[in-house]
């Protein structure tokens, strides 16, 4: 078979379904709120630079100084020579910020999820995962070969039902089914079996949820999930990617937002959104960190985080600690924009945060909406299946502290006009 025949056929299917994806070239990113494409400067509604820290003078200076001192690359994996003083200082800062015993950095948030989940659970173990969790969580579970039980989005009743069913299961059922896989797994040095939170068959049970969901912008009911994890003796892991720097009185994330410090065993997040740098982290007990250093393949077998990004993230955390003005401005923008866009007749779904979906429905209509607002210098991308459910194609707006009141007023006005044109409002 000719590779291009095969690929061409697949690509035709994608095009026919209206799901063709392509990248736009950003010619400049002058601020969190601006992007230049095809020579035109536009209002950017697609950035995760929520606090604008990627362009903060102190963050940029920290990154530049780190490059001057350490060079452009870590040049080795963490367990070889890639774990620098900068990594150590950042990890200390993360655990202080999150009020935990230790932290570990990964080259990206995606790799953090892959690395945490695949190290903690293995064949025969069960992971209870919110249906709308980020793809990197899903991929981590697939890599682990644990059993995936998806519960309906933010539905603690459904989660409890699945937990109850699982705890009633016949003795050894999962274990026997996956014995062979478990043996294979030992050979490749995967998840061991010396862990707490196991059922009577020695299988580990893990509940995992985003705290802020990346496509709907709603917040997980964490207090209820924490109670269920305790009641059913499960490990609990949260993904704070969109919540770090944003939620909670100190910007420490969803766990702080709900006052649940000390009650979530595994917290991960990214350095690449509100922190304006790049990389991922996990934070928790000293044992968790030691375990991952020894067991997590996406940590072990890759070059460590670029030193300049460690330094940039450290500076961003220091800024977040001493200056809440960026976070306050972000929330002011969120509250204004959500009210105004709902007032204009749009459906923003369950959004409670800086991620505000404008639900449109059919993929082609979402694309058309995006194209029309583009003509008015607003960059807002359509999100289509399989990233979101079939009839829930949308424009995904993410706001930053860098957007001005005038920006938001223009967006509301152009969206309202476009919505009327496409008969959405
Ligand atoms: C973006 C994101 C990640 C991945 O983080 P990167 O640092 O961009 O790889 C993980 N989880 C969630 C919920 C995310 O939104």
| Residue 40: strand pairing partners | 37
Pull the structure tokens for residue 177: 């089914």
Asked if the model's pLDDT at residue 60 lies above 50, the reply is yes
- Active-site entry in 83, 273, 315, 403: 273
Asked if the model's pLDDT at residue 193 lies above 50, the reply is no
Q: What is the pLDDT of residues 216-253, one digit of tens each?
A: 999 999 999 999 999 999 999 999 999 999 999 999 99
How close is the Cα of 270 to the center of ligand 1, in Å? 6
CA distance 280 to 282: 7
Is 169 tagged catalytic?
Answer: no
How close is the Cα of 152 to the center of ligand 1, in Å? 21
Q: Are 283 and 94 in contact (CB under 8 A)?
A: yes
**Bond prior to 203 in cis (omega within 30° of 0):** no
Give me the residue label for tokens 């100084």.
65
Atom of ligand 1 nearest to the CA of 270: 7
Q: What is the pLDDT of residues 264-281, one digit of tens each?
A: 999 999 999 999 999 999
SS3 label, residue 308? helix
Atom of ligand 1 nearest to the CA of 242: 15
pLDDT band for position 192 (50/70/90)? very low
Pull the structure tokens for residue 425: 């409002």
* Per-residue pLDDT at 190: 44
How close is the Cα of 178 to the center of ligand 1, in Å? 30
Residues 6 or more apart whose Cβ sits within 8 Å of residue 73: 303, 306, 307
| Residue 235: strand pairing partners | 206
Atom of ligand 1 nearest to the CA of 111: 9
How close is the Cα of 199 to the center of ligand 1, in Å? 30
Is 158 tagged catalytic?
Answer: no
Q: Are 66 and 316 in contact (CB under 8 A)?
A: no
* Alpha-helical runs (H) found in 145-241: 156-168, 173-177, 179-187, 222-231
Q: Are 123 and 294 in contact (CB under 8 A)?
A: no
Taking CA 47 as the corner, what is the angle to CA 43 and CA 53, rounded to the nearest 5 degrees? 105
CA distance 282 to 278: 14
Is 242 tagged catalytic?
Answer: yes
Q: What is the pLDDT of residues 74-119, one digit of tens each?
A: 999 999 999 999 999 999 999 999 999 999 999 999 999 999 999 9
Asked if the model's pLDDT at residue 194 lies above 50, the reply is no
- Active-site entry in 83, 87, 149, 242: 242
Asked if the model's pLDDT at residue 195 lies above 80, the reply is no
Residues 6 or more apart whose Cβ sits within 8 Å of residue 341: 348, 356, 358, 397, 412, 415
Closest CA to 205 of 157, 259, 250, 146: 146
pLDDT band for position 371 (50/70/90)? very high
CA distance 311 to 278: 10
């Amino acid at each position: 078979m000719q590779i291009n025949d095969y690929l061409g056929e697949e690509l035709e299917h994608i095009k026919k379904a209206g799901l063709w994806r392509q990248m736009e070239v950003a010619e400049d990113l002058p601020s969190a709120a601006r992007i230049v494409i095809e020579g035109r400067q536009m209002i950017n509604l697609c950035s995760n630079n929520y606090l604008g820290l990627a362009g903060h003078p102190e963050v940029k200076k920290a990154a530049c100084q780190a490059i001057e001192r350490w060079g452009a690359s870590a040049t080795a994996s963490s367990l070889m020579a890639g774990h620098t003083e900068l990594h150590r200082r950042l990890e200390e800062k993360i655990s202080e910020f999150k009020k935990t015993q230790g932290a570990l950095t990964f080259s990206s948030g995606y790799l953090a999820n892959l690395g945490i989940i695949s190290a903690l659970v293995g064949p025969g173990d069960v992971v209870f995962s919110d249906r709308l969790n980020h793809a990197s969580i899903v991929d981590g579970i697939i890599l682990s070969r644990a059993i995936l039980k998806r519960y309906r989005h933010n539905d603690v009743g459904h989660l409890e039902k699945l937990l109850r069913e699982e705890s009633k299961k016949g003795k050894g059922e999962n274990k026997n089914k996956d014995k062979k896989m478990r043996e294979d797994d030992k050979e490749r040095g995967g998840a061991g079996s010396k862990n707490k939170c196991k059922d009577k068959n020695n299988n580990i049970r893990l509940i995992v949820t985003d705290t802020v969901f990346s496509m709907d912008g709603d917040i997980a009911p964490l207090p209820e999930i924490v109670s269920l994890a305790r009641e059913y003796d499960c490990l609990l892991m949260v993904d704070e990617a969109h919540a770090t720097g944003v939620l909670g009185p100190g910007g420490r994330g969803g766990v702080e937002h709900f006052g649940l410090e000390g009650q979530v065993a595994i917290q991960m997040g990214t350095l690449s959104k509100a922190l304006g740098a790049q990389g991922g982290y996990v934070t928790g007990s000293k044992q968790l960190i030691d375990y991952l250093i020894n067991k997590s393949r996406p940590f072990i077998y890759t070059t460590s985080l670029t030193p300049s990004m460690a330094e940039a993230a450290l500076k961003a955390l220091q800024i977040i600690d001493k200056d809440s003005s960026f976070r306050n401005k972000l929330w002011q923008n969120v509250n204004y924009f959500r009210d105004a866009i709902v007032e204009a007749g749009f459906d923003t779904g369950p959004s409670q945060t800086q991620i505000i979906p404008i639900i449109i429905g059919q993929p082609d209509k979402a694309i058309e909406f995006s194209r029309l607002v583009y003509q008015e210098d607003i960059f807002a991308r359509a999100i289509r299946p399989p990233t979101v459910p079939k009839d829930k194609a949308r424009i995904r707006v993410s706001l930053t502290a860098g957007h001005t009141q005038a920006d938001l007023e223009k967006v509301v006005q152009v969206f309202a006009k476009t919505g009327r044109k496409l008969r959405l409002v």
